[in-house]
Amino acid sequence: MNASYIDFAKEIGFTEGAFFDPKALSFEDSAILRDGCKANDCGFYGRYWTCPPGVGSEKKVSAKIRSFDRGLILQMLTEAVSCDLQPELFADLSHTFNDMTTMVKEELEKEVGNVFTLGMSNCGICETCTYPKSPCRFPDRMIPCISGHCVNVYRLWDSTGFRRATLSESDFYSILLWNES
C-alpha cells in the first residue's frame, strides 16, 4: 500500500496518518471503553446505530475488526473544541470529519474494494435515527464510533510515533479497514 492515500488525506484536512495491522490490536481496554460509552459524556449512547449497544457486543465488534488485513488510522488536529461546552460546534465538526473520512474511503475503494470505516459517533446522515425500532437506513454510509468498537485509539496512535494534541488543541481520529484481495 503506497503512501499516496495519506498524502490525499492530508490534502483534504487530516494532519497525519499511518498504516497498521488490525489483527495485532489487543482489545485489552474493551471493558473500560464500553464503560466510558455507558457514562454517555457524548450523549449518543443508545441513540444511534453507530454507538453501543446498537453496534453489537464487545466480542462481535472485535471479531469484525480482526477480520480485516489492513488498517489506516488518520488524525486531525484542531484548536481546542469541547463537546460539553460547544455542542453545536462539536456536532458540525463531527459531520465534517466523517465526510472527510468518507472521501478517503472512496479514494481507497477504487483500489481495494470495500472499506469499513470508524470515526466520530455523531451520525448526521438522517434527521432522526431509526434506532432501535428499525434497521439503519444507510448501513454502507454510516460511520460507527471507534471507542464503541473497543479500539483504544490513543494506544493505537501512540504506536505510530506521531504526537497527540497539546493542551491548546483537540485531536480526532478515524480508522479505515479492508482486506487485500
**Residues at the contact surface with ligand SF4, assessed by CB under 6 A:** 48-50, 123, 125-126, 129-131, 136-138, 142
Q: Which is nearer to ligand SF4, 28 or 106 (CB)?
A: 106
Cis peptide before 139 (omega within 30 of 0): no
> Shortest Cβ distance from residue 166 to ligand SF4 (Å)?
32
Q: Which is nearer to ligand SF4, 74 or 145 (CB)?
A: 145
Q: Which is nearer to ligand SF4, 49 or 116 (CB)?
A: 49
- In what order do the strands lie in the sheet containing 16-20? 16-20, 70-79, 169-178, 116-118
> Shortest Cβ distance from residue 54 to ligand SF4 (Å)?
8
What Rg value do the Cα atoms of the chain yield, rounded? 15
The residues, any chain, with a CB within 8 Å of residue 138's CB and separated by 6 or more, are 125, 126
- What distance in Å separates the CA atoms of residue 141 and residue 154, rounded to the nearest whole number? 25
> Shortest Cβ distance from residue 148 to ligand SF4 (Å)?
12
> Shortest Cβ distance from residue 16 to ligand SF4 (Å)?
27
Q: Which is nearer to ligand SF4, 126 or 165 (CB)?
A: 126
| Chain length of the chain | 181
